[in-house]
A and B are shown apart, each in its own frame.
Chain A
Amino acid sequence: MAGKTINIKLKIWRQAGENKPGKFESYEVKDVSVDMSFLEMLDVLNENELKKGNDPIHFDHDCREGICGMCSLYINGKPHGPKHGITTCQLHMRTFNDGETIVVEPWRASAFPVLKDLVVDRTSFDRIMQAGGYVTVSTGGVPDANEIAIPKTVADEAMDAAQCIGCGACVAACKNASAMLFTSAKVSQLALLPQGGAERKRRAIAMVEQHDAEGFGACTNTGACEAVCPKEISISHIARLNREFTRASFSGNETDYQN
């Protein structure tokens, strides 16, 4: 952990509120320790701005451990920045060069309206979940946890899908602003597990309908979502979602849910 520092320039999207005009503003930050995280660099910039009497740059962030899904910056044209498989809060300044200009934008999608600066409204994701991203089971009266054996490979694959943190990078990367990777992660997790079996048809249809109603685009299999997903969720889950959706659309009832 040496004391190396760099100077950087930033072009950051500023927007006072939803439906207000926005523009890029330029900033400089000097003596940035390369051990700083990207968000810590923004903290330093914001402290400087605040001391000068300027409103700090608003951005979403919370756990700063790459798990809450709150942080959401589009850095140099990529969601969560240039590195693979991490969130913005896990990006460190050693990734950048001395003198570099870094461009920072919010997620851009009509289903994610900008609230202020780099903060967007992702409640559309919650509404997709509310449409069916659950097993209808109430608290209590459930069987013993070991009642149903689930092959390890199946449980592991369900876990791969379940890791989605709902950050929205998939939408930000997609030329269609599609949220199919997000939607499929939940559909796939619950389609793989026996617990989710009873409702799999209803779930697939309801979640896709809500996805479309929110204004997210269709999937055209370009794979940009997988490339930027901080949890490296595979588009094979979208393939499973498509199968689930097709099967549900054709058979339309839940009596043959196991097929």
Chain B
Amino acid sequence: MSLESKIPAGPLAEKWEKHKFNVKLVNPANKRKFNIIVVGTGLAGASAAATLAELGYNVDAFCFQDSPRRAHSIAAQGGINAAKNYQNDGDSVFRLFYDTIKGGDYRSREANVHRLAEVSTEIIDQCVAQGVPFARDYGGLLDNRSFGGAQVSRTFYARGQTGQQLLLGAYSALTKMVNTGKVKMHTRKEMLDVVTIDGAAKGIVTRDLVTGKVESHAGHAVLLCTGGYGNVFFLSTNAMASNGSAAWRAYKKGAKFANPCFTQIHPTCIPVHGDYQSKLTLMSESLRNDGRVWVPKDKKHAKITAAEAMKLPESERDYYLERRYPSFGNLVPRDVASRNAKMVCDEGRGVGVTGLAVFLDFADAIKRDGQKTIEAKYGNLFDMYKQITDDNPYEVPMMIYPAVHYTMGGLWVDYNLSTNVPGLYALGEANFSDHGANRLGASALMQGLADGYFVIPYTIGDYIATLPLGQAVDKSNPAFAQAEKEAQARIDKLLNIKGNQTPDDIHKKLGHIMWEYCGMSRNKEGLEKARGMIQELRKEFNKDLKVIGANEELNMTLEKALRLEDFLELGELMVIDAHNRSESCGGHFREESQTEEGEALRQDEEFSYVAAWGYEGEGKDPSLTKEDLVFENVKLTQRSYK
């Protein structure tokens, strides 16, 4: 089968305008005859649910948290990009487009990325109108900062809590529509399956996390806004309950999964300190604007503590990012910074008790700007660091190490954000479309809100308008009962294994395999080995899992087990994809494909495509469909941050 991306014809800058005119419209009076299901209430889900309800659709929104305001979008610290050019420093829609395409190492669609850059400016207007308190300067206008290696200041922020404020903005819009009755909010309900009838999505099956009730909900379209699958690694910066199950269930119902191996490993996280650790904490990338990254020059100083580091003379320190990338220095993109940290630690020059950390040092910045200035910029981050590590970063350097942060891969979608299953859409981190092989800082918030506020409200009409008017989805269709039965059977199966290993025991094992073989650096042999190990681990899961209690109660062990079952399959697909893509690009580093200087080396002739994987059945290899990427407006170059 081939995948139709539905990219509109015409010049890049006119595609979206033209497309908006060409998509079919649904008469305002008819919109109320259609029901839309939105799963997930982060930036993408909340903004989509609110906007679709404003347009007149009836929306059912679902989240597994106790309130839609708690989605993990809330944790984003740094900011949101927009091509406003308020700073008069040379920014433009085309520059944001170009930076995003290049930053993604030329593995995303030109048309999607350009649209993202176009609507970025409207997002800021919308958020301000909602009362989002962005940072302002003394004249009362909006402040910007440069972020994540961008050479213009286009990042809008609200202290270190931009994600929180944007989500609360979207939540307020959603809340407003709940109050009008156009959105029905379902909290503490987790999606277990998509219901398809004649190949089109017509509903979902959910489990009520408090009562255990398994039930189905019908809709004319289903939007999955369920975030990324970084928790496949067990340890990541994602929230504890973030999971890939909705996307994975869609995959098993026929939706293609694109570029699953594209994972972003964020360079500035607090290092792992023990087996009991439950998650990793991100320290905002903005810290690299002033902090200098270094390790000792000589292995004999490896594993030194932060206090000992203070005594190490300048001549014994290797500021390796500044040395290797004189023009970008400490501000190289995330994938480059992460890989370099791994490299110096692999050389045996890592610091801290584990040797798996590098220093991020503010001594020079404090000397230059004064502690007050640094405190104003990063105070809350420094406090958070001290809270966790008991080290004071005003006095000693921070220790950081890369951690899994974001997944660029996700459900394959066309230009309309539709998966290949009619009526099934994927928005935000749950889709694959805009970040290629590496996401730039402050772009996740932008994409989530772009998809929800400004893309799906237009593009969904193109599908809804083709449906017969006034026809409710028939809940008596056996597909609903069948999907419910299957979900219940899965639950019963897990409750009845009665083995000895807890979901966390097995999840940690999966995490170790993924991190070792499908993490910052990957090779053919390792990936082949990992695939076998994951298959074995799945057998272990099915034989030796321990879940206790019943379905008909709040049962967090069961919740974990259900999510883990999907991670165990998704992990294998990631490994298969990483094995297939024998080039290096962005966050995907294949050791076999590197330049003489050890930088990622793309193989454009062979791999300039989106790898979309299809489910072929239990125990069968997935099928690969390639969507060729066509570049008409940018010239592919080897990224260089020297």
Binding site for B on A (CB under 8 A): 1, 16-17, 33, 35-37, 39-40, 43-44, 47, 50-51, 53-56, 58, 60-70, 86, 90, 92, 94, 115-116, 119, 121-123, 125-126, 129-140, 142-146, 148-152, 155-156, 158-159, 162-163, 165-166, 189-190, 193, 195-196
Contact = CB atoms under 8 A, between A and B. Distances in A.
Contacts, number: 220
A39 B278 contact: yes
Interface in B160-189: 161, 163-165, 168, 171-173, 175-176, 178-179, 185, 187
B70 A139 contact: no
B79 interface: no
> 8 nearest interchain CB pairs?
A149-B140, A134-B172, A142-B129, A159-B133, A145-B128, A116-B554, A139-B51, A62-B239
Given A1-B273, A139-B453, A62 B352 contact: no
B470 interface: no
A163 B132 CA distance: 11
Question: Which of B66, B126, B273, B548 neighbours the largest number of chain A CB atoms within 10 Å of its CB?
Answer: B66
A54 B546 CA distance: 11
B65 A70 contact: yes
B175 A129 contact: yes
B69 A166 contact: yes
Nearest to A64: B279
B135 interface: yes
Contact of B140 (A36, A63, A151, A195): A151
A90 B387 CA distance: 7
Contacts of B84: 145
Contacts of A68: 65, 70, 72, 74-75, 239
A69 to B, nearest CB: 6
A152 B140 contact: yes
A152 B142 CA distance: 9
Contact of A36 (B132, B276, B282): B276
B140 A17 contact: no
Given A135-B172, A165-B164, A189 B502 contact: no
A218 to B, nearest CB: 24
Given A53-B548, A70-B66, A121-B66, A136 B176 contact: yes
Majority secondary structure, A binding face: loop
Interface in B373-403: 384, 387-390
B124 A145 contact: yes
24 contacts: A35-B273, A40-B276, A40-B278, A43-B504, A47-B505, A50-B546, A51-B546, A62-B239, A63-B75, A63-B239, A63-B240, A92-B390, A123-B67, A134-B130, A135-B131, A139-B54, A145-B142, A146-B141, A146-B142, A149-B139, A162-B168, A163-B159, A163-B161, A165-B164
B548 A55 contact: yes
Nearest to A120: B66
Contact of B276 (A44, A70, A139): A44
Contact of A50 (B67, B187, B548): B548
A86 B390 CA distance: 14
B50 interface: yes
Contacts of A39: 278
Nearest to B123: A145
Contacts of B168: 162
Contacts of A1: 273, 352-353, 389-390
B277 interface: yes
B452 to A, nearest CB: 9
Given A68-B75, A123-B66, A130-B178, A43 B129 contact: no
A131 B179 contact: yes
Interface of B: 47, 50-51, 54, 65-70, 72, 74-75, 84, 86, 122, 124-142, 158-159, 161, 163-165, 168, 171-173, 175-176, 178-179, 185, 187, 210, 239-241, 273-274, 276-279, 281-282, 352-353, 384, 387-390, 453-454, 457, 500, 502, 504-505, 546, 548-549, 553-554, 556-557
B616 to A, nearest CB: 35
Nearest to B546: A50
Contact of A119 (B50, B75, B554): B554
B522 to A, nearest CB: 28
A122 B188 CA distance: 11
A159 B384 CA distance: 19
A69 B70 contact: yes
Contacts of B122: 140
A139 B454 contact: yes
A139 B138 contact: no
A142 B125 contact: yes
A125 B68 CA distance: 11
Nearest to B72: A63
Given A1-B389, A64-B240, 20 more contacts: A33-B274, A39-B278, A43-B504, A61-B240, A62-B72, A62-B241, A65-B281, A68-B70, A68-B74, A69-B69, A70-B66, A86-B387, A92-B388, A126-B178, A129-B175, A130-B175, A151-B140, A152-B140, A159-B158, A162-B132
A94 B390 contact: yes
A69 B72 CA distance: 11
A142 B179 CA distance: 21
A135 B170 CA distance: 11
Contacts of A152: 136-138, 140
A16 B553 CA distance: 9
A189 B124 contact: no
B161 A67 contact: yes
B549 A55 contact: yes
Given A39-B278, A129-B172, A162-B165, A137 B129 contact: yes
B175 A195 contact: no
A135 B175 contact: no
Nearest to A55: B549
Nearest to B550: A55
A135 to B, nearest CB: 5
A210 to B, nearest CB: 10
B173 A51 contact: no
Contacts of A134: 130-131, 172-173, 175-176
A142 B126 contact: yes
A46 B505 CA distance: 12
Nearest to B502: A50
A158 B133 contact: yes
B445 to A, nearest CB: 14
A126 B67 contact: yes
A36 B274 contact: yes
B350 to A, nearest CB: 14
Given A62-B241, A138-B54, A195-B130, A126 B136 contact: no
Contacts of B504: 43, 47
A73 B500 CA distance: 29
Given A44-B276, A135-B130, A146-B142, A58 B554 contact: yes
Contact of B384 (A60, A66, A130, A143): A66
A68 B72 CA distance: 7
B554 A130 contact: no
B134 to A, nearest CB: 7
B253 to A, nearest CB: 27
Contacts of A136: 176
Contacts of B273: 1, 33, 35
B394 to A, nearest CB: 17
Contacts of A155: 133-136, 140
A90 B388 CA distance: 7
A150 B553 contact: no
Given A17-B553, A90-B388, A115-B554, A67 B67 contact: no
Contact of B125 (A63, A129, A145): A145
